[in-house]
Structures are given as C-alpha cells and as structure tokens.
Amino acid sequence: MPPSRKRKAPSSSDLLVPFQQSLSAEAQQVFQTLARHASRHSLPLYLVGGALRDLILRNPTKDLDLVVEGDAISLVSSAAGTLGIKPTIHHAFGTATIKAGSVQIDIATARKETYARPGALPTVSPSTIEDDLRRRDFTLNAMALGLAGPHHGHLLDPHQGMYDLRQRLVRVLHDSSFHDDATRMFRAVRYEQRLDFQIEPQTKALISEALDKNMLSTISADRLRNELELMLAEASPGKMLQRTHDLGLLQALFPPLVRTPPITLIPEKSVPLVFIAALAYRLTANEAEAFIARINMTHPWAVAARQSADLHSIEEKLSRPDLTRRDLWELLEHRPLVCVKAAAAVAENPLAKDRLRQYISLYQRMKPVLTGDDLLALGYAPGPKVGQILRRLQISRLEGKTNTKDDEVKLAKAWLAS
C-alpha cells in the first residue's frame, strides 16, 4: 500500500481522553482508582508499551501496561483494597495484575536493565521512567503517556517513537540491541508484519550483523521455540515465517531450513501444526531430529516434524501414474492430517500435490456409514472381526463399490452369510 494511503499516527497531544474513552466502564473504574492513589502518594504513573502504541495507531488493544516510579505492588494493593478486588502479585518481578472484565492491567515498577553477557536474562533494578524506556526493544514501544504526576497528559518520547510510527518503521534503540537479546530479531519481524510497517534499514543491517556473529546461539532452545510460538499465534503466521526466512533468521536458527518451501503457500487460517510441518517438510529424518532438539519441540510439534519429513520421502510414490485410490489411502491413512495438508500446499511434484489434495477430500467422506454397533445389530459377534469388517467397508467406499448406508448393509450381510 502506498504511504499516502496509510493511516497516519495522530499528534502526541490529547491522547489521554481517547485513552479513557477506549476503556470499558469496568476498566475505567480501575484506571481512575489507580491514578487517584498514585496522585495521592506522589507516584508518577504512565501508560507504556504496546497499549500506548496501539492507542496512537487507533488499533484495538485488550491489555494495558502501566509503569509507576515507585512500588508497583504497594500501589496496586492500595487501589485494589478500595475497589474490593484481589490482584495477582508477582513479588519476584515487582509487578502486579488486575483483571477488569476482559481487560488485563499489568503494573510494573520503572526499572533499568543490564546484561551480564549477550543472550542472558537482564539484571533489573528500580529506576526512572527514562531508564525504563531506554531498556525497551524498539522506538515504537519506548514512549510513555503520563497518567498521574508531573507529566500528566503528556507524551514522553525520548527516542522519537512517534516519528517512526508516522514513517511506519521498526527501529531498535541502540546498535547493541540484538547482541543484548537476539530474540528481538524475531520481534522486529512480528511488529513489521502485524502493523504493516518496514524494518528500518540500519536495524535490518544490524540483524544481518547479529546473524553473522551467530548471536542466536546465545539464546536457549525454549526461548527460541517461544518466539516461533508467538509468530504462529499471529493473524498472518505464514507471512511472518516467510519474512523470517527471507531475512536469514530461520537458516541461522537451523541451517537446513534454507531448503524450507515457500511458507506463504500455506493458507493463513491453518492451525499452527501445519506450519511446523511445512518448515520440516524438506528435512531428512536426521535433520528433523536435530531440528526437534534445536528448539526443544513439544511432543505435538515433534510428531509433525518427523511425519512431515517422512512424507516428503514418498513424493515419488505419490506421483506414480498407476496409483489407485486404495494405494493412496494406504500410503497416507496413518499420517497426521496436518502433515498431509502441509504437503498438499508445498509438495514439488504437481501430480503428488494433486494426490495429496485428493486424499484430503477423500478423508472427509471415506469413513463407513455403519458403526461397530450397527454390525453387532446385524449379527456379528463382538471381537476383532468387527474392526476388520469396518476396514473392508472403508475400502469398498474407496473403490466405489458402496455409496450409501443400504449399500453397506447389503455388503455386510453378504459377508456375514458367507
């Protein structure tokens, strides 16, 4: 979309009124109580992060992030007492959460962060709002709207986040950002694709530099998997994964993923496991196992990765001209449907792709109409024979010998009589 047609960010002034108007009555009550208690105790309170960014962009948001220059837990406990509600307290992090209907309000003490080494979780200590904004990942998340205190109603924007919102850019705050935390490279892609922005050129160059220095090796397997999980939870996971591949992030995460097929071929409404299967489709069996270990996959992910890699190995069989419906069914029936769907989208052989799509269509209608109870009612004895007959009925449907329940009843009776 040309820049002239994109919705521009509003002025930094007059944000407080639309912020309050965007809240439900229940959330307004909680916010106003927090602001009163903050003012009463001379505690500067701010709206920060994604909630402020979305407010400026006029995008809906469900969760609010607040920062207070002072003890967040004391502030929340005081306000919750007035409201007669019970907050969730996180003493280890100095944060608290209040639920207001469908809105979650997270309140944290302003803090600064230091990193003992690249990829390490930061050491935090209480500080000022300026330090709190300085520690953030991107300029578009490094602004604060004063809700109580000396900056009430004013936007703090020390890193020109408003400019980058207007220019629709994702920009890091400093050149060592990806060395401090390499997962920010994945976050840059998420913001870029979710907001329809562009990664700013210098930030893109810093991503390449961090990848050349193998900074992803400083991140634990679980944290890397979490970044993929977050992408798969987005509205357009295919676009995000494809962009991650185009930037070299996927290959840096696991080099054999350089052979990943075009992920945008996967329908965006697909369940996450279909995307995992697509990522693993061109891997060998050994590579699939290494990929599973690289990001410490959950069991469902691991099954999808293994089965998808194995499915790729039978593309040649699926493209045989003499393949029957029954052959197709027997090749695929024990494979997870998510893997078949991924292969149907990304398979390289056109005939194999058609066969995979044919199987998906067959899968929807090839279950016999008769059930085990129906066979018992016809006179079959309980036991393994019932399962065998159901299997034969399924094959009959595949071969076009039965189409209706009456067809199946006649065939089952004939088998019983014989």
Which tens digit of pLDDT belongs to each residue from 39-90? 999 999 999 999 999 999 988 887 899 999 999 999 999 998 998 889 999 8
Predicted local confidence at residue 4, as pLDDT: 37
Give residue 227's identity as a one-letter amino acid code. E
Q: Is the pTM of this model over 0.85?
A: no
The residue among 124, 154, 142 whose CA lies nearest residue 44 is: 154
Mean pLDDT over each residue of the chain, to the nearest integer: 90
pLDDT at residue number 125? 79
pLDDT digits (tens, 9 = 90+) for 383-414: 888 888 888 887 887 777 888 888 888 888 88
pLDDT, position 103: 86
**Domains of the chain by range and CATH?**
3-170 (3.30.460.10), 256-366 (no CATH), 372-417 (no CATH)
Which residue reads 């709206």 in tokens? 47
What pLDDT sits at residue 18? 85
Q: Is pLDDT of 38 > 80? A: yes
6: pLDDT strictly greater than 90: no
Q: What is the pLDDT of residues 147-183, one digit of tens each?
A: 999 999 899 999 999 999 999 999 999 999 999 999 9
As a whole number of angstroms, the distance between CA 317 and CA 308 comes to 15
- Where residue 236 falls (left for φ over 0; alpha for ψ -120 to 50; beta otherwise) is beta
User: Rounded to 5 degrees, what angle do the CA atoms 342, 345, 348 make?
Assistant: 105
The whole-number pLDDT of residue 5 equals 40
Whole-angstrom Cα distance, residue 50 to residue 195?
Answer: 11
- Mean pLDDT, to the nearest integer, of 300-312? 97
Q: How far is it, in rounded angstroms, from Cα 172 to Cα 239?
A: 21
pLDDT at 365: 65
**For every residue of the chain, which 3-state class applies, written as one string?**
CCHHHCCCCCCCCCCHHHHHHCCCHHHHHHHHHHHHHHHHCCCCEEEEHHHHHHHHHCCCCCEEEEEECCCHHHHHHHHHHHHCCCCEEECCCCEEEEEECCEEEEEEECEEEECCCCCCCCEEEECCHHHHHHCCCEHHHCCEEEEECCCECCEECCCCHHHHHHHCEECECCCCHHHHCCCHHHHHHHHHHHHCCEECHHHHHHHHHHHHCCHHHHCCHHHHHHHHHHHHCCCCHHHHHHHHHHCCHHHHHCHHHHHCCCHHHCCCCCCHHHHHHHHHCCCCHHHHHHHHHHCCCCHHHHHHHHHHHHHHCCHHHHCCCCCCHHHHHHHHCCCCHHHHHHHHHHCCCHHHHHHHHHHHHHHCCCCCCCCHHHHHHHCCCCCHHHHHHHHHHHHHHHCCCCCCHHHHHHHHHHHHHC
Residue-level pLDDT at 7: 47
Mean pLDDT of 326-333: 88
**Looking at 93-97, 129-133, 306-310, which range is the least confident one?**
93-97
Q: Which amino acid is at 203?
A: T
Q: Mean pLDDT throughout 292-308? A: 98
Q: What is the predicted pLDDT for the residue at 363?
A: 67
Contact between 355 and 361 under an 8 Å Cβ cutoff? The reply is no
Residue 124 or residue 209, greater confidence: 209
pLDDT of res. 388: 84
> Which residue type is seen at 226?
N
Reported as a pLDDT band with limits 50, 70 and 90, residue 189 is: very high
In sequence order, what are the residues at sequence separation of 6 or more whose Cβ sits closer than 8 angstroms to the Cβ of residue 139?
159, 160, 161, 163, 164, 171, 172, 173
Q: How many residues does the chain have?
A: 418
Question: How much is the pLDDT for 110?
Answer: 93
pLDDT of residue 191: 97
Going from the C-alpha of 418 to that of each of 106, 315, 389, the distances in angstroms are 71, 40, 13
Q: pLDDT per residue over 342-374, tens digit each?
A: 999 999 999 999 999 989 987 656 678 888 898
